[in-house]
Amino acid sequence: MTRLLHLLPQFVHQYFLKTPRKRQRLEPSFAAERLESRCMLTPQLSLSGAGVVVMQGTDQNDVAVISEIGNGRIRASISTGNVEVSRDFNLNGIKSIYFQGENGDDSFRNDTDLPSTAYGGFGDDLLYGGGLADFLYGDQGNDRLLGRGGNDVLHGGSGHDVLRGHNGNDHLIGADGSDQLYGGDGRDILDGNDGSDYLNGENGYDELHGGSGNDRLVDEFDGDWLDVGSGIDKIIKLIPDVINSTPDIQFQNPIATLVEDVDTSNGIVIAEIVIFDDGIGENNLRIVGDDAGLFSINNNHLMLRPGAVLNAQNNGVLDVTVEVDDPALGAGVEDRAMLSVEILRTNSSVQQFGAVGDGVTDDTAALQAAFDAAEGRELFINAGTYLISEPLLIPSNTKIYGAGNNSILQFTWHDQSEGREFHLGNRDRSDETTGDSNIELRDFALYGGFTGDPYGVAYHDVTHGIFFRRVENVLVTGVTIGKTSGFGIANNGLINGTFTNNTIENVGRDGITSFPLVFENDSSYPTYPLQGLVISNNRLSNLGDDAIAVHAGTQYGVNFNYAPHDITIENNTIIGRVTEHQDAQGRGIVLTGVRDATISGNNIRNTVSTGILIQASYNWGVDSSVEAIRSRDVLVTNNTLLGIGSAQGLDRVKIGIQVKGADRVTLISNTVRDTADRGIDVRNATQIKVDSSDVSGSQGKSGIVVSGGNEYDVRNATITDNEVQHWNDKGLFLYNVVNSFVDGNSVN
């Protein structure tokens, strides 16, 4: 507890201040260059080639947490509402963490000893640093920044912010607004800048700069250097009082998870117990909670007791609370800190269940037994080739991973004349079930029993590689898929699926294709939507049909109201055909009846048909001439399309980018070269923008066509700043367009 000794007006402050020291700016060497702000529909999580974990938020309220989970691994998660993306990484090779909050009231927490750079963006944000040096920037809004361990730089940005350095030699910058800056321990620099600020260096020899505005500077530690700046300022000299203050308690560097077979013979440090107090009175600690008997306190550390037995099935979460009590302050507890530790089931491998993996033995039964036992835990596919004669079913809450392309699932049948319609899928997929959730597949190879050639025009005879039906929260990464007669990956009813860094090649039909599960002509049918889909950084080549497709309808389903939405397709490499085949068909990327979608940064070349198609969906079983759901709110940007329609195959439309039956579509900064027909074609669309695109070498009559027809119009079209190099009839052609704006285009 402290009390005011005296207040010094600004005009006498020079008599009390020491000679100014040279100011040293603390700028972390790791601070990442700020990424360009992107309006993402779903949160993104990735690892850059430079070893930086990148957490990209949305315009909503994002919650990002990164923590150590033991065994040399960390877990990063970022969520927005009911959409969550989570990944585990090996600490080896991770250099730092980067968070970009965008709009919304965001929260970022670094519970590791990795340095981090975090930008809150617009909104009232809460940013926590980690155990080493951090750079936290609140941006606009009333933000709270806590540096915690290490020599941190905290910049509040505009707004009324609260900055706390805690441990280390920190640099706190208030910027605009009336801010509160607390240095904590160490030799800190506090810059109030504009606004009426409150600066308190707390412990250590600190340097306080009030800046402009009517500031209050607290000289709490003898030896602080104070610079009040301009404005009517006050210096507050604090001396210790004899009043006993209330202690505060918190955990630092807590462990969030433990594997059930971890060695507990010597006990395990769960967290450091930190008490903030004035040193007067006593601080008595007590452990309470359902699992208090498993814990002890040793030298200000919360410990798991030596020999503690952990069982994930019987007690999957340990809850513990540490209370602090100062008897001199009367009866009752002054403060408490609560912690939950998740107990993970012991990982197992398929060979523990009898799988051989010699390329000769039928391992179907052993693998299915391993999959069934893996529910709620992780399962490792040992290196080897596993022959499989029946579909494998994956239960909920299961992570299956292998040794990359050295772990091969080799299925023996090629289509439905010999087996089922899929090779690998979720277990509770029937219409009578509620479906599955939380399935993760990574780092193995899957091959069907097909040749890998195009299957041709077929709807019901093929077998897909991976087929999810009625599933929520899926991650597929690092998986190689080939020689399936059907799709590499099929999704029929999916909420929140991420498919990233996979290789799909030599498949008979599509690469990755997704549908909602809707039959509106049957009121008793349980509908399952398609939403929250991310397809990124995949390589798809030598495909029999479309590379990536998202459709609102199927051949037999009736769907007027359930458009797939929140779709992101970015940074994929698509090579339609590597080898020639007369039955090949297919486009690069297709959206039919899709809402709120982004197609960005993809490289598409050598397809049989159109490169990117955005159009309405139709109910083929009802009336194929009537639009069922129009596509809407689609951004197509920074894609490169080369040689579209140049591959041999069936007779198909061969346009670079085509939009028809869609509203509010933006095509910006795309490169379209050497297409077999028109470069960009827009029909039957409203509120269309084609901007800053490069179209050259197309073989059709026109480079860019925006055209209405006898039964439809194009309305509100903006065609600006495009470069068209075209040698046929017209470089840029507009016909029957209602309300157009054309400007700044270069046509050769």
CB neighbours (10 Å) of residue 505?
18
Q: Are residues 287 and 401 in the same domain?
A: no
Which pLDDT value is given to residue 62?
87
**CB neighbourhood size of 427 (10 A):** 19
Give the mean pLDDT of the chain.
86
Q: Name the least confident of 444-453, 479-488, 617-626.
A: 617-626
pLDDT for residue 231: 64
* CA dist., res. 13 & res. 605, Å (int): 71
pLDDT above 70: residue 3: no
Is residue 12 over pLDDT 90? no
Write the burial class of residue 331 (CB in 10 Å: 0-12 exposed, 13-18 middle, 19+ buried). exposed
Contact 29, 73 (CB under 8 A): no
Same domain, 134 and 192: yes
Contacts of 2 (CB under 8 A, 6+ apart): 220, 238, 239, 240, 241
pLDDT for 555 equals 62
Highest mean pLDDT pick, 86-90, 554-558, 676-680: 676-680
Which of 60 and 728 is assigned the larger pLDDT? 60
Shared-domain flag, residues 19 and 152: yes
Domain stop point among 206, 223, 240: 240
* Per-residue exposure over 628-655, b if at least 16 CB sit within 10 Å of its own CB, e if not: bbbbbbbbbbbbbbbbbbbbebbebebb
458 and 334 both lie in a single domain: no
CATH code of the domain containing 331: 2.60.40.60
Sign of the Cα torsion 425, 428, 433, 434 reads: negative
184-188, 300-304, 353-357, 416-420: which has the minimum mean pLDDT?
A: 416-420
The more confident residue out of 273 and 214 is 273
Task: Pick the most confident of 47-51, 163-167, 297-301, 384-388.
Answer: 384-388
Q: Which of 2-6, 264-268, 438-442, 560-564 has the highest mean pLDDT?
A: 438-442
pLDDT tier, 180 (very low <50, low <70, confident <90, very high otherwise): confident
Query: What's residue 126's pLDDT?
Result: 85
Q: So what's the pLDDT on residue 243?
A: 58
Domain containing 97: what range? 2-240
**pLDDT (0 to 100) of residue 173:** 87
| Distances from the Cα of 82 to the Cα of 42, 230, 258, 476, angstroms | 10, 48, 26, 19
- Among residues 240, 268, 288, which one ends one of the domains? 240
Same domain, residue pair 736 and 598: yes
Amino acid, single-letter form, for residue 49 = G
Last residue of a domain, one of 191, 213, 240: 240
Band of pLDDT at residue 31, cut at 50, 70 and 90 = very low
Tokens 């008595």 found at: 284
pTM of this structure:
0.59
Enter the tokens of residue 116: 């981090």
Same domain (yes/no): 409, 550 = yes
Query: Which ranges constitute the DSSP H helices of 532-575?
Result: none
| Better-scored residue on pLDDT, 22 or 654 | 654
Local confidence band at 588 (pLDDT 50, 70, 90 cut-offs):
very high
**pLDDT of res. 458:** 63
Radius of gyration for the chain, computed over Cα atoms and rounded to the nearest angstrom:
31
Instruction: Read off the pLDDT band of 564 (50, 70, 90).
Output: very high
How far is residue 549's CA from residue 543's CA, in Å, rounded to a whole number? 13
Q: pLDDT at position 372, please?
A: 94
Percent of the chain with pLDDT over 70: 90
Question: Which of 26-30, 121-125, 201-205, 727-731 is predicted most confidently?
Answer: 121-125
> Is 62 buried (19+), middle (13-18) or exposed (0-12) by CB count in 10 A?
buried
**Are 468 and 556 part of one and the same domain?**
yes
- The residues near 494 (Cβ < 8 Å, ≥ 6 apart) are 468, 471, 472, 474, 514, 528, 530, 531, 533
Confidence at residue 235, expressed as pLDDT on a 0 to 100 scale: 63
pLDDT of residue 311: 85
Residue whose pair of structure tokens reads 């920074």 in the numeric block: 638
pLDDT confidence bin for 185, thresholds 50/70/90? confident
Least confident of 55-59, 354-358, 531-535, 617-621: 617-621
Q: Are residues 466 and 579 in the same domain?
A: yes
Mean pLDDT of all residues in 202-210:
78
Higher pLDDT pick, 104 / 642: 642
Written as one string, the DSSP assignment of 480-507 is: EEE--SS-SEEEEEEEEEEEES-EEEEE
Structure tokens, 73: 């691994």
Domain count of the fold of the chain: 3
Q: What digits encode the pLDDT tens for the residues 254-279?
A: 988 888 888 999 999 999 998 887 66
State mean pLDDT over 280-307: 90
Average pLDDT on 1-29 reads 33
Q: Is the confidence at residue 15, as pLDDT, over 50?
A: no
Q: 272 and 226 in one domain? A: no
pLDDT band at residue 6, thresholds of 50, 70 and 90?
Answer: very low
Q: pLDDT category, 11, cuts 50, 70, 90? A: very low
Element at 536 (helix H, strand E): strand 530-536
Count of CB atoms situated within 10 Å of the CB of 349:
15
What CATH number does residue 530 fall under? 2.160.20.10
Distance, in Å, from the CA atom of 435 to the CA atom of 515, rounded to the nearest integer, reads 15
Rounded Cα–Cα distance for residues 439 and 501 (Å) = 17
183 and 260 belong to one structural domain: no
Three-state SS sequence of 368-394: HHHHHHCCCCEEEECCEEEEECCCEEE
**pLDDT band at residue 48 using 50, 70 and 90 as cut-offs:** confident
CB distance 266 to 306 below 8 Å: yes
Q: Are residues 196 and 234 in the same domain?
A: yes
- Cα(373)–Cα(350) distance, integer angstroms: 10
3-state secondary structure of 581: coil
pLDDT-based confidence at residue 233 (cuts at 50, 70, 90): low
N- to C-terminal Cα separation, the chain:
78
Q: What integer pLDDT is reported at residue 232 of this predicted model?
A: 58
pLDDT value at residue 329: 77
Residues 318 and 191 grouped into a single domain: no
* 503 — pLDDT class (breaks 50, 70, 90): very high
176 pLDDT tier (thresholds 50, 70, 90): confident
What is the average pLDDT across 364-369?
96
pLDDT category of residue 221 using cuts at 50, 70 and 90: low
Which comes out higher in pLDDT, residue 517 or 196? 517
